[in-house]
């Protein structure tokens, strides 16, 4: 099985981030049980928005992973998790997510799943939840993070957001886009569902 060099560079950048950024390593050490897979590329418009985006400002700690996720965008299997939910075509065409480790990614692990999420400016990701515990690390740009029972926060490169099992959370971009590295542990076979209104 031959995995494209862009995927390998991305995996290496993720491993380095887990080694160097305590919030990632503490959530889940980089897995040693990786099994290669061959994801069929699936393109959505958000992939092109990401590649063209010049607004994902980053610092030294997150720039390599930001750039590696962007380089894989043209060959990634972009997800359409919320198709059929009534979330609307604007969200479906502009919200981007693909998997590095897990279903649709280039590797599988029994320990965790790893994704990238990308949102251009001016997009609202409605409240949703899932059984898996989740750790976001902002890689580029910024977004307002909303979590049930906690105050809203604008997070920027290097900032993290933890979501407990089934804790509703939402996200919103304003003038800037955002890219985040997303880790799941415990129960990562179950997809997220929209939560409805959360007050
Ligand atoms: Fe989530």
The whole-chain average pLDDT of the chain stands at 95
The residue with tokens 């950024």 is 21
Neighbours of 16 (CB within 10 A): 15
Which residue range is the domain that position 135 belongs to? Answer: 5-186
CA of 170 to the centre of ligand 1 (A): 8
Return the pLDDT at 197. Answer: 64
Averaged pLDDT for residues 18-44: 96
Q: 149 lies in a domain? A: yes
Within-domain flag for 197: no
- C-alpha 1 – ligand 1 centre gap (Å): 31
User: What's the rounded Cα separation, in Å, for the pair 88 and 85?
Assistant: 8
**Cα 197 to averaged position of ligand 1 atoms, centre (Å):** 16
What's the chain's Rg over C-alpha atoms?
Answer: 15
Question: Does some domain include residue 127?
Answer: yes
Residues, CB within 5 angstroms of ligand 1 (ion): 134
Residue 10 alpha carbon to ligand 1 centre in Å: 21
Distance (Å) from CA 132 to ligand 1 centroid: 8
Taking the C-alpha atoms of residue 181 and residue 173, their distance in angstroms, rounded to an integer, is 16
pTM, full prediction: 0.96
Centroid of ligand 1 to alpha carbon of 50 (angstroms): 20
Percent of the chain at pLDDT > 70 equals 98
**What CATH number is associated with residue 153?**
2.60.120.10
Q: Is residue 145 part of a domain?
A: yes
What are the tokens at 40? 């069929």
Cβ atoms < 10 Å from Cβ of 19: 12
169, part of any domain: yes
pLDDT digits (tens, 9 = 90+) for 70-94: 999 999 999 999 998 889 999 999 9
Q: Tens digit of pLDDT for each residue in 88-140?
A: 999 999 999 999 999 999 999 999 999 999 999 999 999 999 999 999 999 99
Does the residue 192 lie in any domain?
A: no
Task: Check residue 115 and give its pLDDT.
Answer: 98
What does the CA dihedral 35, 76, 9, 184 come to, rounded to 10 degrees? Answer: -60
The three-state DSSP-derived secondary structure of 150-189 is EEEEEECCCCEEEECCCCCEEEECCCCCEEEEEEEECCCC
Using CA atoms, how far apart are residues 128 and 24, in angstroms rounded to an integer? Answer: 22
Residue 196 inside a domain? The answer is no
Q: What is the pLDDT of residue 175?
A: 98
* Residue 134 alpha carbon to ligand 1 centre in Å: 6
> Residue 77 gets which letter from DSSP?
B
**Structural domain includes residue 198:** no
Residue 184 alpha carbon to ligand 1 centre in Å: 8
Question: How many domains in the chain?
Answer: 1
Copy the structure tokens of residue 171: 């996200």
What span, in angstroms and rounded, lies between the C-alpha atoms of 13 and 190?
Answer: 26
Q: What pLDDT is recorded for position 198?
A: 61
Residue 56, CA atoms < 13 Å, CB-side half-sphere? 25
Q: Separation of 33 CA from ligand 1 center, angstroms?
A: 23
What pLDDT band is residue 187 in, cutting at 50, 70 and 90? confident
Q: Quote the ligand 1 centre to 2 CA distance (angstroms).
A: 31
> What pLDDT, on a 0 to 100 scale, did the predictor assign at position 1?
65
């Amino acid at each position: 099985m031959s995995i494209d060099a862009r995927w390998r560079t991305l995996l290496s950048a993720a491993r380095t981030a887990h080694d160097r950024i305590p919030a990632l390593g503490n959530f889940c050490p980089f897995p040693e049980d990786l099994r290669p897979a061959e994801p069929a590329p699936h393109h959505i418009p958000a992939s092109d928005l990401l590649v063209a985006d010049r607004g994902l400002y980053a610092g030294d700690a997150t720039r390599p992973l930001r750039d590696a996720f962007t380089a894989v965008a043209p060959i990634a299997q972009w997800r359409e998790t919320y198709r059929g939910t009534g979330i609307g075509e604007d969200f479906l065409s502009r919200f981007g997510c693909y998997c590095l480790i897990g279903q649709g990614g280039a590797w599988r692990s029994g320990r965790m799943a790893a994704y990238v999420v990308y949102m251009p400016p001016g997009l609202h990701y409605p409240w949703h939840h899932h059984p898996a515990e989740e750790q976001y690390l902002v890689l580029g740009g910024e977004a307002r993070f909303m979590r049930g029972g906690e105050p809203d926060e604008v997070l920027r490169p290097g900032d993290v957001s933890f979501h407990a099992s089934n804790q509703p959370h939402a996200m919103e971009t304003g003038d800037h886009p955002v890219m985040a590295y997303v880790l799941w542990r415990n129960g990562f076979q179950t997809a997220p569902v929209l939560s409805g209104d959360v007050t």
